[in-house]
Amino acid sequence: MEDKLYAFYLAGKKENEIPNALYRKYNVKKGLRNEDGTGVRVGLTRIADVVGYEIRNEEKCDVAGKLYYRGIELRELINGYSKAQTYGYEEICFLLLFGYLPNKAQMKEFCELLRSHYELPKDFLETKFLQMPGKNIMNRIQQAVLSLYDYDDKADDTDISNTLLQGIDILAKLPSILVYAYQSKLHRYHQESLVIHLAQHNLSIAENLLYMLRKDNRYTKLEAQLLDMLLIVHADHGGGNNSTFTNVVIASTGTDIYAAMVGAIGAMKGPRHGGANMKVRAMLEAVVEKIGYCEEEEVICNLINQILDKRFFDGSGLVYGMGHAIYTLSDPRSEVLQSYIEILAKEKQRMSEYAFYKRFEACAKKVMWERKHIRISSNVDFYSGFVYDMLGIPQELFTPLFVLARTVGWLAHNIENKLYDGRIVRPATKYVGELQDYVKMEDRL
């Protein structure tokens, strides 16, 4: 049957093709991108700004990457981050949602509100996870978030105050949803012992995730701080990234926040977006299996060329974790993480692996310049999978953690769009097919 379906497709393939020349003829931007790679502007925002280039004399000029949350540059936020705390992500949530940094009293009230929503609805764990484990964690998360709709008496109320409360509730419950989705899958499909820990109201989101995930509940302060840092750098990335735009498009129809969030999670699942961190980790594991923690630049560059020539790894021709749609000279998220990664790598006795990551990054930059004369940098996905692995977080949870971190960004843009745009997102497409007459069945060849 599958072969027959594909045969149907092939029979009409030639007539259905859209030549590249038509995109230029009708000035259609593939992927909502201009010819120089810059994004087509589709909205205005005060939440976050992603800077990787400047327009000078009508030409695109690459600059060092910067990421702003409500006008504050990421490095400045991280430099002001207290080394004693593990709730920096909660502070960033407040900033993104309300537009200003909280004082101590406001921070305390906000954290208390978040933590009051940690608990899942009655019987949710049993009915949505233990009785219905899923084969794919991301799909299971979508189903769980959508199920929360049924427990909400005001599920279809899209008023700003209600949307805000609903979004906070989803965010607060996601650590439990992520962990239980993973554990129930292991128990059902891999016959592993099931150990369930409930969320603790005295812990931050980062701490709770480690607490619930580990059988002995134990984690170090450094581990919690680094996970907290990862949540911070993934919290938002402007209104144009795929999952955030998906969220806004769906919300613009006037539907409930659960539907909008589930759509964004679906967008995040793809390997070209949130799933990239898993691809990076898998690629580097394949590279290390092939050449070990090689110190010879020529050997590493040769293997990178093989990847680009589609002769090694997955045949895509992509060096995962290198390059970004906006950042060229540097990804500030990657740079921010690296000093913290080195500290953890020393603690975990994995400096050889970290040093190889650095060599691979340098070689990838060199190869891309030699082959295409373009400058690229490592993006946040290049190192995040390595960090998650050092934290003992399984690969299947890499992308779900991205979902957890980015939920606050989705919520902030959802609300901003409701307040200041309010129109249904409805771009146009140009029909380029042929006009035909209907032929009755009995007259068809």
**pLDDT tens, position by position, 330-354:** 899 988 888 788 999 999 999 999 9
pLDDT exceeds 80 at position 429: yes
Task: Answer yes or no: do 243 and 336 share one domain.
Answer: no
Show the tokens assigned to 126: 């049993």
> Residue 229: which CATH number?
1.10.580.10
Task: Answer yes or no: do 233 and 154 share one domain.
Answer: yes
Specify if 33 maps to a domain: no
Predicted local distance difference test score (pLDDT) of residue 266 = 97
Q: Which residues pair with 48 in a beta bridge?
A: 69
Predicted local distance difference test score (pLDDT) of residue 83 = 60
Task: Answer yes or no: do 180 and 89 share one domain.
Answer: yes
**How many CB atoms lie under 10 A from the CB of residue 410?**
29
Predicted local distance difference test score (pLDDT) of residue 271 = 86
- Over the stretch 42-91, which tens digit does the pLDDT of each residue have? 899 999 999 988 878 877 788 889 999 999 999 999 888 766 678 999 99
Specify if 325 maps to a domain: yes
d(CA 217, CA 209): 10
Q: Which residues are catalytic?
A: 273, 324, 381
Specify if 107 maps to a domain: yes
Task: Answer yes or no: do 105 and 165 share one domain.
Answer: yes
Which residue in this structure is represented by tokens 């940098």?
377
Specify if 45 maps to a domain: no
Instruction: Calculate mean pLDDT across residues 308-336.
Output: 91
Percentage of the residues of the chain whose pLDDT score is greater than 90 = 73
Q: HSE of 306 in the Cβ direction (CA atoms, 13 Å)?
A: 15
Task: Answer yes or no: do 107 and 208 share one domain.
Answer: yes
Amino acid letter for position 304:
I
pLDDT exceeds 80 at position 93: yes
Residue pair 369/329 in contact by the 8 Å Cβ criterion: no
Show the tokens assigned to 213: 């995930």
Total domains in the chain come to 2
pLDDT exceeds 70 at position 438: yes
d(CA 338, CA 41): 31
Task: Answer yes or no: do 318 and 399 share one domain.
Answer: no
SS3 for 63? Answer: strand
Predicted local distance difference test score (pLDDT) of residue 356 = 96
Task: Answer yes or no: do 385 and 401 share one domain.
Answer: no
- Give the neighbor-by-neighbor strand order of the sheet with 72-73: 48-56, 59-69, 72-73
Answer with the one of 373, 390, 407 that is the final residue of a domain.
Answer: 390
Task: Answer yes or no: do 249 and 315 share one domain.
Answer: no
Task: Answer yes or no: do 225 and 355 share one domain.
Answer: no
Instruction: Calculate mean pLDDT across residues 280-299.
Output: 95
Amino acid letter for position 209:
L
Task: Answer yes or no: do 228 and 258 share one domain.
Answer: yes
pLDDT bracket for residue 272 (50, 70, 90) = confident
Show the tokens assigned to 324: 């970004």
Predicted local distance difference test score (pLDDT) of residue 407 = 98
Which of 288-292, 334-338, 402-406 has the lowest average pLDDT? 334-338
Specify if 302 maps to a domain: yes
pLDDT exceeds 90 at position 138: yes
Specify if 100 maps to a domain: yes
Task: Answer yes or no: do 189 and 333 share one domain.
Answer: no
d(CA 79, CA 226): 14
Predicted local distance difference test score (pLDDT) of residue 413 = 97
- Burial of 39-77, coded b for 16+ CB within 10 Å and e otherwise, reads beeeeebebbbbbbbeeeeeeeeeeebbbbbbeeebeeb
- Over the stretch 372-400, which tens digit does the pLDDT of each residue have? 998 898 998 899 989 999 999 999 999 99
This prediction's pTM: 0.92
Predicted local distance difference test score (pLDDT) of residue 82 = 60
State the residue range of the domain holding 186: 66-270+393-420
| DSSP tag of 59 | E
Q: How far is CA 163 from each of CA 63, 121, 379, rounded to the nearest angstrom?
A: 37, 19, 32
Q: How far is CA 430 from each of CA 13, 25, 125, 420, 437, rounded to the nearest angstrom?
A: 19, 11, 47, 28, 20
Show the tokens assigned to 150: 């049924």
- Over the stretch 204-253, which tens digit does the pLDDT of each residue have? 999 999 999 999 999 999 999 999 999 999 999 999 999 999 999 999 99
The dihedral built from the CA positions of residue 124, 242, 234 and 239, taken in this order, carries a sign that is: negative
Specify if 324 maps to a domain: yes
